[in-house]
């Protein structure tokens, strides 16, 4: 049985700043993801705080929100079979140092903060995160 899902991907400021968005989009396309929607935006810190609310209690929350709002980002709705899990595999571990060879964070990430991409961590969160950026 097929299990087509959608997930949210963000190309973070460090990657947009280095002009890596086309290379990163190619990674998705060559791994059978369809980019259904995409937009380049620059969000306010208050919006980043809403987006990352699940991390509110973490010590890195404020820096994380300041960072996501520090420059343009590209947000995308990705679709494929098992998109949430497959995107997490393709991104690799949160810290690029721990990410496996061939993953996006290993190839392009600079640090745990500047790890180039965000991806939804569950089907439930994917719906919430896609609504956050793409609700009409």
Which residues are identified as catalytic?
118
* Residues 21-60 as x/- pattern, contact with ligand CMP by CB under 6 A: ----------------------------------x----x
From the list 27-35, 79-87, 112-120, 126-134, the region that binds ligand CMP by CB under 6 A is 112-120
Instruction: Provide the angle, in degrees to the nearest 10, between the axes of the packed helices 83-91 and 21-30.
Output: 130
Taking the complex as a whole, the smallest distance from the CB of residue 124 to ligand CMP amounts, in Å, to 16
- And the tokens for 107? 């190839």
Options 21, 31, 94, 125; binder of ligand CMP; rule CB under 6 A: 94
d(CA 30, CA 22): 12
The helix (H) or strand (E) run that includes residue 3 is none
Options 35, 47, 72, 113; binder of ligand CMP; rule CB under 6 A: 113
C-beta contacts of 105-109 below 8 A and 24+ residues apart = 107/27, 108/15, 108/18, 108/20, 108/23, 108/24, 109/14
The binding site for ligand CMP (CB under 6 A) comprises 55, 60, 64, 94, 112-113, 115, 118
């Amino acid at each position: 049985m097929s299990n087509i899902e959608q997930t949210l991907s963000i190309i973070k400021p460090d990657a947009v700043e280095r002009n890596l968005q086309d290379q990163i989009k190619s990674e998705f396309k060559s791994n059978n993801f369809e980019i259904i929607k995409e937009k380049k935006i620059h969000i306010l810190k208050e919006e980043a705080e809403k987006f990352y609310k699940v991390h509110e209690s973490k010590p890195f929350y404020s820096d994380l929100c300041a960072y996501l709002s520090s420059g343009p980002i590209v947000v995308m709705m990705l679709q494929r079979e098992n998109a949430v899990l497959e995107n997490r595999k393709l991104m690799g571990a949160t810290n690029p140092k721990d990410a496996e060879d061939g993953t996006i964070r290993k190839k392009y990430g600079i640090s745990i903060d500047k790890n180039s991409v965000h991806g939804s961590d569950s089907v439930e969160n994917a719906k919430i995160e896609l609504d956050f950026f793409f609700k009409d």
